[in-house]
Amino acid sequence: MLYSRLFGKTTKNIISDADSVNAKLLSQAGFISKQLSGVYNYLPLGLRVLKKIQQIIREEMDAVGGQEILMPALTQLESWQTTKRQDLPILFHLKGQEDNDLVLNPTHEEVVTPLAKNFIFSYRDLPSAVYQIQDKFRNEPRAKSGLLRGREFNMKDLYSFHSDQADLDRYYELVKQAYFKIFNRLGLEKQTVLTFASGGSFSKYSHEFQTVCPHGEDTIYLCQKCHIAVNKEIISEQDTCPECGAADLRETKAIEVGNIFKLGTKFSSAFNFSYQDNQGNPQPVFMGCYGLGPSRTMGAIVEVFHDEHGIVWPSSVAPYHVHLVALDLFDAKVKSQADSLYQQLLSSHLEVLYDDRTELTAGAKFTDADLIGIPVRLLISQRSLESGGVEIKRRSSQKSEIISLNQISTKIFEN
Amino acid sequence: MLYSRLFGKTTKNIISDADSVNAKLLSQAGFISKQLSGVYNYLPLGLRVLKKIQQIIREEMDAVGGQEILMPALTQLESWQTTKRQDLPILFHLKGQEDNDLVLNPTHEEVVTPLAKNFIFSYRDLPSAVYQIQDKFRNEPRAKSGLLRGREFNMKDLYSFHSDQADLDRYYELVKQAYFKIFNRLGLEKQTVLTFASGGSFSKYSHEFQTVCPHGEDTIYLCQKCHIAVNKEIISEQDTCPECGAADLRETKAIEVGNIFKLGTKFSSAFNFSYQDNQGNPQPVFMGCYGLGPSRTMGAIVEVFHDEHGIVWPSSVAPYHVHLVALDLFDAKVKSQADSLYQQLLSSHLEVLYDDRTELTAGAKFTDADLIGIPVRLLISQRSLESGGVEIKRRSSQKSEIISLNQISTKIFEN
């Protein structure tokens, strides 16, 4: 992509109500643009990151046998009355033209349970798991912190259906491992800890995945021995680690990026959703639900990976692999070498953002590159060509070196 | 995919209010499931088709320099007051927690215009074009006809920004050609005609892309000479073809699958969106908008491509390339050959739906395959193996033939 043509460039304006690092950096760097409190536009750079996060999640959900579907945002209020959740304050209410009562779904148990009831009849149809990557709505009283707490936000929600508690338990562990793989691929493995939360009527605990971060909205208590954590609800009931029994739990701030929950028969009972066992007898369906928010995770990644100059994207979700910065473009020889290097990188299937602007100083271009945070910066200029090639510098490092044009592909993928 | 494990199988239930061929066939075949009038769940088969349609559209939008973004559904009512469209009856209204007035966007001129104003300042920033593939909301009084007229539906909307009318005219023609390419790739090129519609204040005509179809909701008048059409508004003003002047315009039913429109300065004026020309003087930005609905197009494809047995998908959007039907699975030899054929097809990067169910008759499996409508059916059974391989049959043809296992890949891609 030519940076000169990119829709959504960096801006020096401090976003007036950017109340968090992720809102500030993502807005200034041209990834998102605020529509209203808790509601954002994704600009081309931001949408590329969001899609990469979604694709990593999708692959790991497919790997645990999840089948992707897409459920609607609009739903009858009646479905929420069935589960007695119609008074949730975060429900957006609206009226259809025949004056029927509708809501915008903040979660989809009320949709997926009757949907699954249409297709799951027998023990032969179980287990089954479906997920979607879809936009949800929550009428948050305090939408804030950029992508961390939205009123319209992207969510991956997986729902699983089982013949009994044991099979739900088995699948729950499988999804837990899939979540670790996802946070590993997103570069968040060191910061993200499994956190015990209260479990409702069907299970002692549910689990959150909390990304430790100074500006997190949640408070968790991290076991210094086994590196799991408990949340506020749990610490009020017990002050030892539920995993290893240790008593050294240290308070820390974190962002909840995922949660997994054994629903048991709570929703299947509400919707009279049962299956026939191999004796022909009706049995209740056991359910699990597993959330992970791509947009919130994007915010969390920025909260964790930034420095005073801007964002430092992990490679797996960076909007582009390479930021090619060209200087001295008034010099036809440099211009021609820079353009041909850009084409060469594209033919090597690299994703490249090419800063081809002629009117900017080297300093302004470097500032933009640091703010945007693409992992590898290649600099081509009169001086670099005189020195034998291009300068390569990683966003995460101060070091730079001159390499020859034919070393580029190898060097980019070095760590 | 193993059909035995697929979420969303065929159903014999006639959907009570399936008022159209697409609603009936897509529901019975397990592609969609109705949530409420004009609102559908996409099951795994249906989501695969929707994504393929979206991807074809995305590629052609990228090819005309469109940059993909994602705008929100939720927006301030105020933005719609700015353009005096706040009273559109199809606007869904809702209240935020601070009692602020919000709407769900049925289209995005009110969002994209102020957004572009943040990033387009100078003639150097023009032309520019952004698009999104996103879910829209319309509070339709008569949501009906399955995916043809929804209250929540998927839309690709492209918006372009230009320094003058001439550049808008140039780009408009480019997008028109891109639309022909899209309908060509979707298999709808023969049925889809460019249709002149009224143009508003900035242009004599706008254009619709209408897919001719007996159950279409729109009435168009098709020129027998040059194969363009005019819509109802135009025929009431002139009864000759605006393209070739011929008078032989025949009334026919059609589905509007796309429309393109020169907005001129209507929205840029409302939002005071101007740019600086190369003399430093402010000038109004000219805009175009270009809609194409992936979900409605999915419905239109089914309206056009079906027979009395079910859907007949064009290859480019079929949920899978191959429907592998295995019979006689009680026979361990057949079972083992069928399983290994399935694996072999997958390793050839074919998308395969494998009907591995043991309890169904051949007739029931064939009925399901015809209903689902995947282009190529491969049958493996005791008899086919005795005859030297598998039976291949195209959904669009009555003919079948036995081919050896090593001929399969070649045969599948023959026409």
Q: For the segment B100-109, what is each residue's pLDDT rounded down to a tens digit?
A: 999 999 999 9
Could you tell me whether strands B286-292 and B249-264 are parallel, antiparallel, or unpaired per DSSP bridges? antiparallel
Of B4, B39, B102, the CB nearest to A72: B39
Q: Does B245 touch chain A (CB under 8 A)?
A: no
Residue of B nearest to A108 (CA): B41
Of A43, A76, A94, the CB nearest to B92: A94
Among B13, B15, B9, B80, residue whose Cα is nearest residue B44: B9
pLDDT in tens, A118-158: 999 999 999 999 999 999 999 988 777 899 999 999 999 99
Indicate yes or no: CB of A75 within 8 angstroms of CB of B130.
no
CA distance A24 to A146: 8
Indicate yes or no: CB of B130 within 8 angstroms of CB of A44.
yes
> HSE-up of A63 (CA within 13 Å, CB side)?
14
Tokens of A246: 């240790």
pLDDT of residue A75: 97
For residue B279, the 8-state DSSP code is: T
Of A35, A74, A89, the CB nearest to B39: A74
Q: Nearest C-alpha of chain B: how many angstroms from A99?
A: 10
Q: Does A130 touch chain B (CB under 8 A)?
A: yes
Instruction: Answer whether B273's CB lies under 8 Å from B285's CB.
Output: yes
Q: Does B17 touch chain A (CB under 8 A)?
A: no
CA distance A84 to A82: 6
Tokens of A64: 């645990």
For chain A, first and last CA: distance in Å? 24
Instruction: Answer whether B291's CB lies under 8 Å from B258's CB.
Output: yes
User: Which residues share a beta bridge with B159?
Assistant: B130, B289
Q: Nearest C-alpha of chain B: how many angstroms from A83?
A: 17
Q: Nearest C-alpha of chain B: how many angstroms from A225?
A: 42
pLDDT of residue A415: 59
Could you tell me the sign of the dihedral formed by the alpha carbons of B251, B254, B256, B257, in that order?
negative
Radius of gyration of chain A from its Cα atoms, rounded to whole angstroms: 25
pLDDT in tens, B209-260: 999 999 899 999 999 999 999 999 999 888 899 999 999 999 999 999 999 9
Cis peptide upstream of residue A127 (ω within 30 degrees of 0) = yes
Indicate yes or no: CB of B94 within 8 angstroms of CB of A104.
yes
Q: Does B137 touch chain A (CB under 8 A)?
A: yes
pLDDT, greater one: B66 or A98: B66
Q: How confident is the model at residue A202 (pLDDT cuts 50, 70, 90)?
A: confident
> HSE-up of B198 (CA within 13 Å, CB side)?
9
Indicate yes or no: CB of A44 within 8 angstroms of CB of B9.
no
Instruction: Answer whether A274's CB lies under 8 Å from A315's CB.
Output: no
Indicate yes or no: CB of A41 within 8 angstroms of CB of B75.
no
For residue A226, the 8-state DSSP code is: T
Tokens of B36: 């409420």
Indicate yes or no: CB of A97 within 8 angstroms of CB of B76.
no
pLDDT in 10s for each residue of chain B, 415 residues: 999 999 999 998 766 666 799 999 999 999 999 999 999 999 999 999 999 999 999 999 999 999 999 999 999 999 999 999 999 999 999 998 877 999 999 999 999 999 999 999 999 999 999 999 999 999 988 777 899 999 999 999 999 999 999 999 999 999 999 999 999 999 999 999 999 999 877 788 999 999 999 989 999 999 999 999 999 999 988 889 999 999 999 999 999 999 999 999 999 999 999 999 999 999 999 999 999 999 999 999 999 999 999 999 999 999 999 999 999 999 999 999 999 999 999 999 999 999 999 989 999 999 999 999 999 999 999 999 999 999 999 999 999 999 998 888 888 877 5
Tokens of A36: 């209203």
Among A91, A101, A106, A148, residue whose Cα is nearest residue B95: A91
pLDDT of residue B338: 97
Strands (E), B245-366: 249-264, 274-276, 282-284, 286-292, 306-307, 310-311, 322-326, 352-355
Residue of A nearest to B153 (CA): A72
Length of chain A: 415
CA distance A93 to A201: 28
CA distance A207 to A303: 22
Q: Does A47 touch chain B (CB under 8 A)?
A: yes
pLDDT in tens, A176-200: 999 999 999 999 999 999 999 998 7
CA distance A179 to A343: 37
Of B8, B69, B100, the CB nearest to A42: B69
CA distance B35 to A72: 8
Of A33, A69, A140, the CB nearest to B42: A69
Q: Does A88 touch chain B (CB under 8 A)?
A: no
- In one-letter notation, the amino acid at residue B324 is L
Of A95, A102, A139, the CB nearest to B97: A139
Q: Give every CB contact of residue B291 below 8 A, 6+ residues apart in sequence.
A: B107, B155, B156, B157, B158, B258, B259, B260, B261
* Domains and their CATH numbers in chain A: 3-307 (3.30.930.10), 320-412 (3.40.50.800)
Q: Does B74 touch chain A (CB under 8 A)?
A: yes
Could you tell me the sign of the dihedral formed by the alpha carbons of A117, A122, A123, A125, in that order?
negative
Instruction: Answer whether A168's CB lies under 8 Å from A287's CB.
Output: yes
Of B6, B69, B73, the CB nearest to A7: B69
Q: Does A36 touch chain B (CB under 8 A)?
A: yes
Q: Nearest C-alpha of chain B: how many angstroms from A97?
A: 6
CA distance B393 to B366: 11
> HSE-up of B399 (CA within 13 Å, CB side)?
3
Q: Which residues of B touch A111 (CB under 8 A)?
A: 35, 41
Q: Does A104 touch chain B (CB under 8 A)?
A: yes
Q: Does B244 touch chain A (CB under 8 A)?
A: no
pTM over 0.80: yes
Of B8, B72, B92, the CB nearest to A41: B72
Q: Give every CB contact of residue B101 below 8 A, 6+ residues apart in sequence.
A: B76, B77, B78, B93, B95
Q: Nearest C-alpha of chain B: how many angstroms from A194?
A: 30
Q: Which residues of A touch B69 (CB under 8 A)?
A: 7-8, 41-44, 47
Q: Nearest C-alpha of chain B: how many angstroms from A206?
A: 26
Q: How confident is the model at residue A239 (pLDDT cuts 50, 70, 90)?
A: confident
Could you tell me whether strands A229-231 and A192-198 are parallel, antiparallel, or unpaired per DSSP bridges? parallel
Q: Does A197 touch chain B (CB under 8 A)?
A: no
Indicate yes or no: CB of A135 within 8 angstroms of CB of B73.
yes
Q: Nearest C-alpha of chain A: how many angstroms from B61?
A: 14
Q: For the stretch A150-185, what's the b/e string if a residue is b when 16 or more beta carbons lie within 10 angstroms of its beta carbon?
A: bbbbbbbbbbbbbbbeebbeebbeebeebbeebbeb
Q: Which residues of B touch A92 (CB under 8 A)?
A: 94
> Longest C-alpha distance within chain A, in Å?
82
Of B6, B41, B137, the CB nearest to A71: B41
pLDDT in tens, A14-73: 666 667 999 999 999 999 999 999 999 999 999 999 999 999 999 999 999 999 999 999
ipTM of the complex: 0.97
Q: Does A67 touch chain B (CB under 8 A)?
A: yes
Q: Does B76 touch chain A (CB under 8 A)?
A: yes
Indicate yes or no: CB of A35 within 8 angstroms of CB of B6.
no
Decide: helix, strand or coil at residue B376: strand
Residue of B nearest to A33 (CA): B115
Task: List C-alpha distances in Å: A15 to A20, A24, B74, B83.
Answer: 10, 6, 20, 25
Radius of gyration of chain B from its Cα atoms, rounded to whole angstroms: 25
What does pLDDT average to over chain A? 95
Instruction: Answer whether B141's CB lies under 8 Å from A97's CB.
Output: yes
User: Which residues share a beta bridge with B324?
Assistant: B354, B378
